[in-house]
């Protein structure tokens, strides 16, 4: 790589923390009446926009030639081997009604390969970090996926895009899991739920219609913590993949069996 990865990591962590500090302050006095809807199921607020501005300004200042894909601003016009993938506030709905389960997510791709992932949950004071060929970390300490191999004992999360077809598939997945007696729930922040898979707090998350900005950083976290990430057919997850399921690897086959039917 042309760039110094340590300098890149330093800037990425700084951006996540500064955006997180901004969000933590906004969170204290947030007024839900000020949110706007991007679609029937997606909200955006001044908090999203403010956090994004902090992150993008730092990236552009330090790496002006890099490409950027951000949830609120879309993709810039720079052509580069480097692509930053940013979600300034993953869990906007949670944030809007003072649920502290939200995060900043920053991933970096080099020549189509995710090389850096940072997820920062400011209200929880948790910083997740993943680098190529290194263990995943939580506040500087190594984390790994859980060792649970019985799906009947697993904790499973799900999320979905705002498209009606993906909502229907998510509901169908939830129904199948609950009827079979498995614990399955929607917590509201895909990046943070991926981090929880990496940390062994839950066993899986399934996302019909996964957006890159929600999952890029978390994918590397899960993989580097010993987990598995694929599409719903069991093929390795790539940036163009539409669906995503991440797990501790031990229950992955059973998850794919269910997901292929939705």
The CATH number assigned to the domain holding 175 equals 3.40.190.80
Q: What is the rounded average pLDDT for all residues in the chain? A: 92
Mean pLDDT of 71-84: 85
29 & 137 share domain:
yes
Q: How far apart are CA 217 and CA 107, in angstroms?
A: 4
Name the domain count of the chain. Answer: 2
49 and 100 together in one domain: yes
Residues 136 and 158 in one domain: no
Residue with tokens 């229907």: 168
| Whether 243 and 169 share a structural domain | yes
pLDDT band at 37 (very low <50, low <70, confident <90, very high): low
Smallest CA-to-CA distance from 227 within 200, 207, 206 is with: 200
Rounded CA gap, 123 and 98, in Å?
11
d(CA 165, CA 167): 6
Q: Are residues 82 and 40 in the same domain?
A: yes
Answer yes or no: do 113 and 162 share one domain. Answer: no
CB crowding 68-82: b at 16 or more within 10 Å, else e: bbbbbeeebeeebeb
Asked whether residue 13 carries a pLDDT value surpassing 70, the answer given is yes
Last residue of a domain, one of 120, 142, 164: 142
CA distances to 37, 156, 166, 167, 206 from 162, rounded to whole Å, are 11, 20, 7, 7, 15
Domain assignment of residue 180, given as a range: 151-259
pLDDT band of residue 75 (cuts 50, 70, 90) is confident
My answer on whether 166 and 211 are in the same domain is: yes
Does 73 share its domain with 125? yes
> Where does a domain end: 83, 107, 142?
142
Q: Once rounded to an integer, what is the mean pLDDT over residues 110-115?
A: 96
Model confidence band, residue 2 (pLDDT cutoffs 50, 70, 90): low
Label residue 28 by pLDDT band (50, 70, 90): confident
pLDDT tens per residue across span 167-177: 999 999 999 98
Q: What is the pLDDT of residues 206-256, one digit of tens each?
A: 999 999 999 999 999 999 999 999 999 999 999 999 999 999 999 999 999
Q: Is the pLDDT of residue 38 over 70?
A: no
Q: What is the pLDDT of residue 72?
A: 76
pTM of the model: 0.93
3-state secondary structure of 249: coil
Q: Which residue has the higher pLDDT, 223 or 261?
A: 223
Q: Which of 80, 108, 142 is the last residue of a domain?
A: 142
pLDDT at position 34 over 80:
no
Task: Please write the tens of the pLDDT for every residue from 45-69.
Answer: 788 899 999 999 999 999 999 999 9
What is the percent of the chain where pLDDT is above 90? 79
Residues 116 and 227 in one domain: no
**Are 209 and 189 found together in one domain?**
yes
Average pLDDT on 124-131 reads 98
Q: What is the pLDDT of residue 96?
A: 86
Beta bridge partners of 37: 43
For residue 32 the two structure tokens come to 């839900």
The CATH number linked to 86 is 3.30.540.10
Q: Which of 70-79, 111-120, 155-164 is least confident?
A: 70-79
Note whether 81 and 129 are same-domain residues: yes
Clarify whether residues 174 and 126 are in a common domain.
Answer: no
């Amino acid at each position: 790589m042309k760039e110094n990865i340590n300098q890149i990591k330093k800037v990425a962590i700084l951006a996540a923390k500064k955006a997180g500090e901004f969000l933590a302050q906004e969170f204290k006095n947030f007024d839900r009446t000020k949110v706007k809807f991007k679609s029937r199921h997606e909200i955006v607020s001044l908090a999203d926009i403010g956090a994004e501005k902090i992150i993008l300004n730092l990236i552009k200042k330090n790496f002006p030639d890099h490409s950027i894909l951000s949830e609120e601003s879309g993709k810039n016009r720079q052509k580069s081997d480097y692509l930053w993938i940013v979600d300034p506030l993953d869990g906007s709905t949670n944030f809007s009604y003072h649920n502290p389960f939200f995060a900043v997510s920053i991933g970096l791709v080099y020549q189509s390969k995710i090389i850096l992932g940072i997820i920062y949950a400011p209200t929880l004071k948790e910083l997740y970090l993943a680098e190529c060929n290194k263990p995943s970390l939580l506040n500087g300490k190594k984390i790994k996926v859980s060792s649970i191999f019985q799906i009947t004992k697993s904790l499973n999360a799900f999320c979905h895009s705002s498209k009606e077809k993906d909502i229907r598939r998510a509901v169908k997945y939830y129904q199948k899991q609950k009827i079979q007696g498995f614990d399955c729930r929607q917590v509201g922040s895909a990046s943070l739920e991926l981090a929880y898979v990496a940390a062994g707090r839950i066993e899986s998350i399934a996302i019909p219609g996964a957006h890159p900005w929600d999952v890029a950083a978390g994918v590397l976290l899960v993989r580097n913590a010993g987990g598995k990430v694929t599409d719903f057919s069991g093929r390795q997850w790539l940036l163009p993949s539409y669906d995503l399921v991440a797990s501790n690897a031990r229950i992955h086959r059973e998850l794919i069996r269910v997901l292929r039917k939705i």
